[in-house]
């Protein structure tokens, strides 16, 4: 197989992995709302989980859309990454993020019993910590925007200084923060109840598979360019997948071994 044929094959594998992990991750949003509907309750499902998910996936939607379609962001990315000027964000990343944001809203709405005819669960309001994280993340992005406007050259259009791509990276890290924190309340709830009843594990399995395939696609994309700056230039996707895998393993241990 020639180098050109090998490259075409690797590109095809990357596309296939991308769509498979898109399907896997997209499927992961459905088991929990369906379980809640079947049980007519959100008992066993931590409300902070969808609360922080909404923040995370809204941020992820904005960042992926910007890296795909915003000419200013794409130009600034190319300036910062001359060896690999094209962002490694794919259309399936954006589609997954948008779909995820919508499904997170659906899951969150189930904590309003009158909308769904559910029984009241033990806790119907997001914790102060979760609300504080949401406010803090929004404030952080606002501060970065202010810095870009005040200190950036040509109001952030010049990538040699503070630029709008900094805002996109800040928004990307909001997704990372939300992903890290969102799992903790559910892990603690499972630990406190000594049970995973009410928390659907099919979604966790799909989430785990999606994380592995996402990393695989990103590594292939970076290796095709012989430049690993594609990973450092797209930190949200790489770290997101790794964090997802770690916490999914924690949930699987809780379900299969501990409880």
116-157 tens-digit pLDDT: 888 776 567 889 999 999 999 999 999 999 998 888 777 667
Supply the mean pLDDT for the chain.
86
DSSP string, the chain: --HHHHHHHHHHHHHHHHHHHHHHHHHTTSHHHHHHHHHTS-TTS-THHHHHHHHHHHHHHHHHHHHHH-HHHHHHHHHH-TTS-S----HHHHHHHHHHHHHHHHHHHTTSHHHHTPPP-S--S--HHHHHHHHHHHHHHHHHHHHHHHHSTTTTT-TTSS-HHHHHHHHHHHHHHHHHHHHHHHHHHHHHHT--TTS-SHHHHHHHHHHHHHHHHHHHHHHHTT-THHHHTSHHHHHHHHHHHHHHHHHHHIIIII-
Question: Which own/partner pairs from 193-196 qualify as long-range (CB within 8 Å, at least 24 positions apart)?
Answer: 193/44, 194/258, 194/259, 195/44, 195/259, 196/44, 196/251, 196/254, 196/255, 196/259
Percent of the chain having pLDDT more than 90?
42
Tokens of 117: 């005819």
pLDDT in tens, 67-121: 999 988 888 888 887 777 788 788 878 988 999 999 999 999 999 888 888 877 6
Percent of the chain having pLDDT more than 70?
91
More confident residue, 4 or 212: 212
């Amino acid at each position: 197989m020639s180098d050109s044929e090998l490259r075409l094959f690797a590109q095809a594998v990357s596309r296939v992995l991308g769509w498979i992990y898109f399907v896997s991750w997209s499927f992961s949003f459905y088991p929990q709302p369906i379980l809640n509907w079947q049980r007519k309750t959100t008992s066993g499902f931590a409300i902070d989980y969808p609360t922080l998910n909404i923040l995370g996936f809204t941020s992820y939607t904005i960042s992926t859309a910007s890296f795909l379609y915003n000419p200013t962001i794409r130009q600034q990315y190319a300036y910062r990454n001359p060896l690999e000027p094209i962002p490694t964000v794919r259309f399936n990343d954006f589609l997954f993020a948008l779909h995820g944001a919508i499904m997170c809203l659906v899951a969150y709405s189930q904590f309003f019993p009158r909308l769904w005819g559910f029984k009241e669960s033990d806790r119907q309001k997001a914790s102060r910590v979760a609300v504080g994280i949401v406010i803090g993340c929004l404030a952080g992005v606002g501060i970065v925007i202010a810095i870009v406007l005040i200190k950036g050259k040509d109001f952030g259009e010049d990538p040699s200084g503070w630029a709008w791509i900094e805002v996109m990276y800040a928004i990307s890290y909001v997704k990372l923060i939300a992903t890290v924190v969102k799992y903790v309340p559910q892990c603690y709830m499972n630990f406190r109840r000594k049970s995973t009843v009410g928390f659907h594990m099919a979604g966790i399995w799909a989430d785990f598979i999606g994380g592995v395939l996402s990393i695989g696609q990103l590594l292939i994309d970076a290796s095709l360019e012989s430049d690993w700056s594609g990973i450092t230039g797209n930190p949200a996707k790489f770290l997101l997948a790794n964090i997802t895998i770690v916490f999914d393993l924690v949930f699987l241990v809780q379900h299969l071994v501990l409880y």
